[in-house]
Chains A and B, each alone.
Chain A
Amino acid sequence: MEPDRETGNHYYRSLTRRMVLIVALVSLTPLFLVSGIILYQFHASYQEKVYDHLSELVQKHTQNIDGFLKEKLADIRFLAETFGFEDLSKESFLRDMLETLQRDYGPVFVDLGVVNTQGLQVSYAGPFKLEKVIYYDADWFKKAMKKRYFISDVFLGIRGFPHFIVAVRDNYKGQHWILRATIDFAAFNNLVENIRIGKTGFAFILNKKGDLQTKPFRGIHANKDFYLDFLRSGRRKEGGMHIFEKRGSTGRKEIYVTTPLKHGEWEMVFQQDVSDAFSKLNRAVNVAIVILVLGAFGIITTALLLSKRMVGRIARADQEKERMNEQVIQSGKLASVGELAAGIAHEINNPVAIMVEEAGWIGDLLEEEEFSQSENLDEFERALQQIRTQGQRCKQITHKLLSFARRTDPRAQDVQVNDLITELVELSAQRAKYAKVTINSHLKEGLPFLQASPSELQQVLLNLINNAIDAMEKTGGILNIGTRLEGANFIIEVSDNGPGIPDADLEKIFDPFFTTKPVGKGTGLGLSICYGIVKKMGGEIEVRSLLGEGTTFRVSIPLPKDKEGQSQA
């Protein structure tokens, strides 16, 4: 019984595992799938939103800065076109103009200067000593002479401070001259420096060579090529805007938004850490993951609890079923014991009837005259009465035997099957005689003991023998019972030459409550009980039948493992 329980436990454990797995899979798969899709969609739309926001912002600031530059240029142009070379080349007038400008716009204009076509600064107003300086070789001068309006890159120049120049070219007596103003770097820088988004977002301006035009808020890539690389390449949106993500030298992923300034001479670059830009999204993702993990944990816990409870119920139901089966087997046992008892009752009643009749005959004779004088007549009559009484008692005993049902012992022990069969054949002989059935035993000698419950084995064989006799009841016939060994299996064959079993019935023959006998005759349990008992012994029961030829039941029971060697030796 112990190994049985162990395999049972193993079965229930694996059943629990399978149920947990299935429930978890079925619940978690859609959960993760839906969460994944939603997160992906959310991520995509959030990214679009962030990109839109950034580009709009950068666009606005770019327009601001462009506007600032255009405004400064317009101021200088106004001066140049209104007053002309003659007035402006007077230093006192120029100084007045600078004061006016500084008064109106704050300290954006650092200085003003008028340069003639030879590059000589004719007049200068400002904090530096730059009168009569020759700019002929200066880079900005060369460029400024070629265009009507010019805004330079940021450079250090003679004064040694970063600054840039706004210049307007005009004509005086057929000669070009230039009015130039220096824009305060700090004022310009502020415009760009003020663009701050989140914790890490900041902006700066680069020229085409990748040189910085403003002072960035924090360290940027030392390598100019890093910027030049993406400034030159990459697809651009409308208005020259370009948004992309790139892993920076720090190893962090960053978003870059670039847009051209100053007719494409400069490039405004906005840079922000991806983690910062998507901080809200990341927070939402984190919350979602926490919920997901908690949900998954909940599902698995529920699956575990439910499966355990379900399997517990199944186990209880199985136990119940097993008990029911045992009851069915038990009732079958009682049925065969009852049949046996009926046979015995009949057998005993016949001889008892003869004895009682003989006693009655003696009584009849005693009534005759020759015995009436005998002094022992009373004693004779008492004895005869006693025989009659005891005869009646025998009758009552057999009557009780009919209703007598004892619990048979299901414990396994060594059984000599041949002896058991011999006994059963003797018991069935009377029934067989009335059915005109001849029982032939073909029992192989020297067979090993079988480990089984004798009463259960007896029940199986008695059922098979009774069935065979029933089958041949009308016609009479021959019932063969044989035993032999086949490998490690003990074979018992019970065959009859009765009418046989139709194929349609053959497959249902071991089903409980299947019977071909008239109502009230068979319970339909006999063979199903046989099947249950043989299976319990680890054996097999098979049936072969041919219509008109007969039926053979073959019971094959494995020999006990340790006995196998002995039987073969």
Chain B
Amino acid sequence: MIKNISNLGDAALYCDFGTEVNKDVNNKVIRYFKSIQKENIDGINNLTPSYNKLIISFDLRKKNFLTIKKLIENLNVVNDDNLESNKIRIPVCCDEKFSLDIKRLEEKLKISRDKIYEKFFNKEFFCYMTGFIAGMPFLGDLEIALRAKRLETPRVKVPKGSVGLTEQFANIYTFESPGGWNIIGNTPSVIFDSAKENNPNLINPGDVVTFEQITKDQYNDYNE
């Protein structure tokens, strides 16, 4: 199922699942990721699943590229049926002070904000991966009518909780960070909680997410 395994530097395997980005390909990535996690292989010290790639980092004192490659090639991969998937609803307030780029999107996409929100809130999203910053979920796929490029000049500070769109994906800024996604609203939900060491991410790869529009009052109540 892995199309090609190569080395990324001297202490990581670069597993390529193909050039396409879709749920089927991503499911394969996640199945490998979970299978390797389950095996608890001595020497592997990190796994990074993404849309269509899986990077396996290892401790060069214990293992090397060829030994890990062999283990991965002979791995028992879990079935699709065993993949856990949670359904998660995320409240989002689109008040003016939160929807920083809605005007820009209206102009770029040539549709009204009402239509943008209608399409965004009536949709189930699939979590392809989490990362970049701790807990940030990459959610797809946006309807073609909502696909826009990143800001030409990224913001130095995107507020925590911001919900952003870029190309076929939506994401949520789990804390204040630089970033270039088109911000359409803000969620009061805690998406990443480092106090929960066993499960700090609210949203994990494979989960299904829907967004629910809330008013400013509801947003403020949420914070109390």
- Bound together: no
Q: Which residues of A contact B (CB under 8 A)?
A: none
